[in-house]
Every structure is written in structure tokens, then in C-alpha cells.
Amino acid sequence: MKVKYFAWVRERVGKTEETIEPPATVHTVEELIAWLSGQSEAYAYAFEKPKVIRTAIDHTHVKSDAAIAGAREIAFFPPMTGG
């Protein structure tokens, strides 16, 4: 699946987007964040406060217990500050 990062999450991870293949044991957004956090210090830093991170699956806001099965694009970002 494709993963995108925005604002300070992007800066901390160090990339705009990538394609990842999490193991089959990763079912939810929360589990995906935990799995990514274990991949490197950059991810651990980006997701150090997982409750602050907002997630969208295929352009729709989702909660941390949302299932990632079938997702084409998952995006992680801080709370929005537009307007």
C-alpha cells in the first residue's frame, strides 16, 4: 500500500511517500503506526505521540482502530491548521 506523510510527520519520517508491505499481523491503523515505529528511529520520532497523529485512508479521515485491509493510500499527518 502507498503511504503519504505531511507537515512535521513528513519532515520527521524524511520522505513524502513510499510503498510498504506490513506483515499480515498488522490489521489496524494503530498497529500500523506501532509497526512503522519499530522500523527506524525516524519513524519512532514521527510517531512518538501516536494520539496526536491523524490518519486518512483513501482520502477519508479514520480513527486509530480502523482496519487497513483494502486500503490503497494511507496518509499520516498532524492536526490540520488551514483556513
- Which chain residues interact with another protein by CB under 8 A? 4, 6-8, 56, 59, 61, 75, 77-83
Residue 59 beta carbon to another protein: minimum distance, rounded to whole angstroms: 4
Nearer to another protein, 7 or 34 (CB): 7
Residue 82 beta carbon to another protein: minimum distance, rounded to whole angstroms: 3
Nearer to another protein, 33 or 56 (CB): 56
Q: What is the DSSP string of 8-69?
A: HHHHHHT-SEEE----TT--BHHHHHHHHHTT-HHHHHHTSSTTT-EEEETTEEE-TT-B-T
